[in-house]
């Protein structure tokens, strides 16, 4: 990406917005109010904004339910029986996967549990799991409980890799070295694709290749990666992954998740799984007979019939991604985050009261920058909110800021920087 000379100027920010080919998408979203005024919303890493199309999509399905009741499963413009299929092409594009490798279903934690039933198969010799230190609590709890389910001790089974002394992010070479060192004792690498706290994007391709080289499987929690960065799960050879859709995918609080399973596992009925009737061969599903026959691809991991209202909300956002294009959004994201990084550097000057703990390389981060606040801490964060900035606070002293390309502007970033500068002066 060509180096850009940014300017700490409201006029300059407006010029960037004027030239932005994606600027119209901002009007597709509702913004919350803080003290009666639209917020500067930098919290898509926790919950994305509501697309204006969401209500239209949900109202349509409510009307279908009212008019057709059970017949809505098989009749109408988009019968519910096949409603999952509509999302597959765009999910495949977002994940860098084939259509049959992805499906929207369940929620994130349950999906990862179901996938680990299939892909974490410990033996007496090969039983260890590698993950990142400081993983999101759900991932830690899932790994602990999966290990205990197999009668193993988490302390002896789960290997957590942390940054080197004095550093904030993990070095890829350290991850790969630990995989090689663990060798034929390693059953699974299971970690985030994008680390929630630091915002670091891990080299999923290199990690997967290294895991496979020692005979292990590789899976990723893509909660903070989906809709944020471009991915190539199929080409990287990743065995499995799961994501939520309520962060950057803007589908609503706690809404439907999605999974990816690589094509090489698509037609392997010998893989153990916790089965449900929606994963059974749909040509025979209504025979209601014993003997589970998994559908081809990721669909074979489905359990229950699809949450129609949840899918309607997901489709509202996916339509926007399809129109804008994930690669176009990624280009804008790099510009927005680069501008934010520049402004923070200008604010810092010689004081270094702020420390960005997210990687500097745009290829190693998404839209989020995590700011370590050395003076003022939570008071600075609270002051930001008082001035209409919605971000995210993480103990003990980190502010996560995520300018999101679908609905944030360069002027948002500039206004945030000015308010941040005033707040730091106030609490210096």
286-314: per-residue pLDDT in tens? 999 999 999 999 999 999 999 999 999 99
- Per-residue confidence (pLDDT) for residue 48, from 0 to 100: 98
- 191 and 292 fall within a common domain: yes
Mark whether 224 and 104 lie in a shared domain: yes
- pLDDT category, 16, cuts 50, 70, 90? very high
Question: What is residue 349's predicted lDDT score, i.e. its pLDDT?
Answer: 82
Q: Which residue has the higher pLDDT, 198 or 427?
A: 198
Which domain covers residue 359, as residue numbers? 10-30+326-426
Q: Please indicate, yes or no, if residue 77 is contained in any of the structural domains.
A: yes
Say how many domains are in the chain. Answer: 2
Predicted TM-score (pTM) of this structure: 0.96
Residues 154 and 263 grouped into a single domain: yes
The CATH code of the domain that includes 420 is: 3.90.1150.10
Which of 322, 343, 372 is the endpoint of a domain? Answer: 322
- Write the pLDDT tens digit of every residue in 180-227: 999 999 999 999 999 999 999 999 999 999 999 999 999 999 999 999
Query: Is the same domain home to 240 and 258?
Result: yes
- Is the pLDDT score of 1 beyond 70? no
Same domain, 158 and 297: yes
Same domain, 313 and 379: no
pLDDT tens track for 316-355: 999 999 999 999 999 999 999 999 999 999 999 877 899 9
Last residue of a domain, one of 287, 322, 357: 322
Same domain, 265 and 389: no
Return the HEC string of the chain: CCCCCCCCCHHHHHHHHHHCCCHHHHHHECCCEECCEECEECECCCCCCCECHHHHHHHHHHHHHHHHHHHHHCCCCCCHHHHHHHHHHHHHHHHCCCHHHEEEECCHHHHHHHHHHHHCCCCCCCCEEEEECCCCHHHHHHHHHHHHHCCCCHHHHEEEECCCCCCCCCCHHHHHHHHHHHHHHEEEEEEECECCCCCEECCHHHHHHHHHHCCCEEEEECCCCCCCCCCCHHHHCCCEEEECCCCCCCCCCCCCEEEEECHHHCCCCCCCCCCCHHHECCCCHHHCCCCCCECCHHHHHCCCCCCHHHHHHHHHHHHHHHHHCHHHHHHHHHHHHHHHHHHHHHHHCCCCCEEECCCCCHHHECCCEEEEECCCCHHHHHHHHHCCEECEEECCCEEEEECCCCCCCHHHHHHHHHHHHHHHHHCC
Please check whether residue 45 lies inside any domain of the structure.
Answer: no
What is the pLDDT at residue 2? 60
Same domain as 225, residue 100:
yes
Output the pLDDT for position 86.
95
For residue 342, being part of any structural domain is answered with yes
Give the model's confidence band at 127: pLDDT under 50 very low, under 70 low, under 90 confident, else very high. Answer: very high
In terms of domains, do 289 and 348 share one? no
């Amino acid at each position: 990406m060509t180096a850009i000379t940014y300017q700490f100027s409201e006029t300059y920010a407006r010029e960037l917005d004027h030239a932005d080919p994606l600027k119209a998408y901002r009007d597709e979203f509702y913004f919350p109010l803080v003290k009666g005024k639209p917020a500067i919303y930098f919290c898509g890493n926790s919950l994305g904004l509501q697309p204006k199309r969401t209500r239209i999509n949900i109202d349509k399905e409510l009307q279908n339910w009212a008019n057709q009741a059970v017949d809505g499963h098989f009749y109408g413009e988009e019968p519910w029986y096949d409603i999952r299929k509509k999302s597959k092409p765009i999910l495949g594009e977002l994940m860098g996967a084939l259509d049959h490798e992805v499906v929207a279903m369940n929620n994130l934690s349950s999906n990862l549990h179901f996938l680990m039933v299939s892909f974490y198969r410990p033996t007496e010799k090969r039983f260890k799991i590698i993950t990142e230190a400081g993983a999101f609590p759900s991932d830690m709890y899932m790994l602990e409980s999966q290990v205990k389910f197999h009668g193993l001790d988490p302390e002896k089974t789960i290997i957590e890799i942390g940054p080197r002394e004095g550093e904030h992010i993990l070095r890829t070479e350290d991850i790969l070295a630990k995989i090689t060192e663990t060798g034929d004792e390693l059953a699974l690498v299971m970690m985030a694709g994008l680390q929630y706290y630091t915002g670091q994007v891990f080299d999923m391709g290199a990690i997967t290749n290294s895991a496979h080289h020692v005979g292990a499987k590789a899976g990723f929690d893509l909660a903070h990666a989906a809709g944020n960065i471009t991915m190539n799960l199929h080409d990287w050879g990743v065995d499995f992954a799961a994501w939520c859709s309520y962060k950057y995918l803007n589908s609503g609080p706690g809404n439907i998740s999605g999974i990816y399973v690589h094509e090489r596992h698509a037609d392997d009925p010998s893989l153990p799984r916790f089965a449900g009737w929606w994963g059974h061969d749909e040509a025979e599903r209504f025979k209601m007979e014993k003997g589970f026959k998994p559908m081809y691809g990721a669909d074979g991991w489905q359990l229950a019939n699809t949450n129609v209202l949840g899918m309607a909300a997901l489709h509202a956002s996916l339509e926007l991604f399809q129109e804008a294009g994930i690669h176009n959004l990624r280009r804008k994201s790099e510009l927005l985050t680069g501008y934010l990084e520049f402004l923070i550097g200008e604010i810092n000057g010689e004081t270094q009261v702020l420390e960005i703990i997210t990687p500097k390389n745009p290829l190693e981060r998404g839209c989020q920058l995590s700011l370590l606040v050395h003076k003022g801490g939570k008071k600075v964060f609270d002051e930001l909110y008082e001035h209409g900035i919605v971000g995210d606070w993480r103990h003990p002293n980190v502010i996560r800021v995520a300018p999101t390309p679908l609905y944030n502007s360069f002027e948002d970033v500039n206004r945030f920087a000015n308010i941040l500068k005033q707040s730091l002066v106030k609490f210096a």
